[in-house]
């Protein structure tokens, strides 16, 4: 479904992440005269991320206090998800509702056969049927594009970079004959910051992908654009509390569920809503209104 360059952009961002990691690895090797520490950190990062990847659906659903619903309980929701799944030639995911009035939705699961779609009760009350279908198309494409794997790998590499940066600070420059202590200190401080920004950029790129591919799946970009505009207003009125479990799951949601200022936007997991709506309008060939 991809007819854009976001996939290439994601690959380039991953390349930068790995370059930062390898550069830090070389510095750690110089500082400690051993490559063992970076391998230990890498293994810990991979193990932690693997657990999160295999249990991503349970973690996110638990964070949102969501409960499973059957087809008799939510017939319209089931009908839409089934129709879109059949259109994409993919299995039917499990469906959950979250008992919050903050309008949002997310899809999770390591692959289409182990996927779950969750919408909040506030979302169901806010959107009409056409808009809800647009949101579901977006969320299903996150699963079909394997975005959980993408975000998990990015989190793993960024986490290892942060750990190695902390290690450099601990060793404080190591062998001063072979290294510049000030340069090592700068790398130790700046590399984790850069890794976080790159990880967030990957997340924002995948949102653009899901917007475009989801709109191709539904054939209705303006429905998703209208839904995003309503969701942004709804989240402003009823944001989620910044509980750590919700913060950890927020990158999965269709919109940033928290209220925040300029600094928060710098570290946002989602691109600006205005940009997303403008892209969808260009796909449709006309403005939303």
pLDDT given for residue 264 in this prediction: 54
What does DSSP say about strands 116-120 and 67-68: parallel, antiparallel, or unpaired? unpaired
Pair of tokens at residue 217: 């799946």
pLDDT given for residue 224 in this prediction: 97
Catalytic residues, by residue number, are 139
Residue stretches of the chain with pLDDT short of 50: 1-3, 262-263
pLDDT given for residue 148 in this prediction: 78
Asked if 195 and 20 count as a contact pair (C-beta separation under 8 A), the reply is yes
Spatial strand order of the sheet with 94-98 comes to: 67-68, 94-98, 116-120, 105-108
Q: What is the dihedral of CA 98, 104, 110, 111, to 10 degrees?
A: 100
CA distance 116 to 106: 8
pLDDT tens string 208-253: 999 999 999 999 999 999 999 999 999 999 999 988 888 878 888 9
Residue 216, H or E segment: helix 181-218
CA distance 224 to 47: 37
Angle at 194 between CA 243 and CA 254, to 5 degrees: 45
What does DSSP say about strands 94-98 and 116-120: parallel, antiparallel, or unpaired? parallel
Asked if 280 and 225 count as a contact pair (C-beta separation under 8 A), the reply is yes
Tell which residue, 248, 193, 209, has the closest CA to residue 52: 248
Phi, psi of 94 (to 5 degrees): -75, 150
pLDDT given for residue 20 in this prediction: 73
3-state secondary structure at position 288: coil
CA distance 282 to 289: 13
Cα dihedral sign, 255-104-114-161 = positive
CA distance 250 to 256: 7
CA distance 138 to 135: 5
CA distance 171 to 75: 60
CA distance 107 to 187: 36
- Number of Cβ within a 10 Å radius of residue 88: 17
Q: Where are the domains of the chain?
A: 6-284
Residue 257 neighbours by CB under 8 Å, 6+ apart: 102, 104, 235, 239, 240, 246, 250
The model's pTM: 0.79
CA distance 170 to 164: 10
Tell which residue, 160, 139, 227, 157, has the closest CA to residue 199: 157
């Amino acid at each position: 479904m991809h007819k854009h360059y976001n996939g290439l952009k994601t690959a380039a961002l991953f390349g930068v992440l790995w370059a930062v990691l390898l550069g830090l690895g070389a510095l750690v090797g110089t500082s400690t005269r051993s490559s063992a520490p970076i391998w230990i950190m890498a293994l810990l990062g991979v193990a932690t991320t693997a657990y999160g990847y295999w249990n991503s659906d349970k973690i996110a659903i638990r964070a949102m206090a969501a409960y499973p619903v059957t087809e008799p309980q939510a017939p319209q929701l089931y009908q839409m998800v089934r129709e879109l799944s059949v259109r994409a030639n993919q299995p039917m995911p499990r469906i959950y509702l979250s008992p919050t009035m903050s309008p949002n939705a997310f899809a999770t699961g390591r692959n289409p056969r182990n996927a779950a779609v969750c919408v909040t009760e506030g979302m169901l009350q806010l959107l009409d049927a056409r808009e809800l279908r647009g949101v579901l198309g977006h969320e299903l494409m996150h699963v079909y594009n394997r975005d959980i794997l993408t975000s998990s790998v990015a989190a793993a590499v960024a986490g290892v970079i942060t750990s190695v940066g902390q290690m450099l600070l601990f060793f404080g420059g190591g062998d001063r004959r072979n290294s510049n202590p000030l340069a090592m200190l700068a790398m130790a401080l700046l590399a984790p910051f850069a890794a976080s920004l790159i990880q967030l950029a990957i997340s924002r790129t995948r949102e653009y992908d899901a917007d475009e591919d989801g709109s191709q799946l539904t054939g209705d970009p303006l429905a998703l654009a209208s839904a995003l505009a309503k969701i942004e207003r709804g989240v402003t009125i009823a944001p989620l509390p910044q509980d750590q479990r919700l913060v950890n799951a927020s990158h999965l949601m269709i919109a940033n569920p928290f209220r925040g200022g300029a600094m928060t936007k710098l570290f946002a997991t989602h691109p600006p809503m205005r940009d997303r709506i403008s892209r969808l309008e260009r796909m449709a060939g006309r403005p939303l209104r």
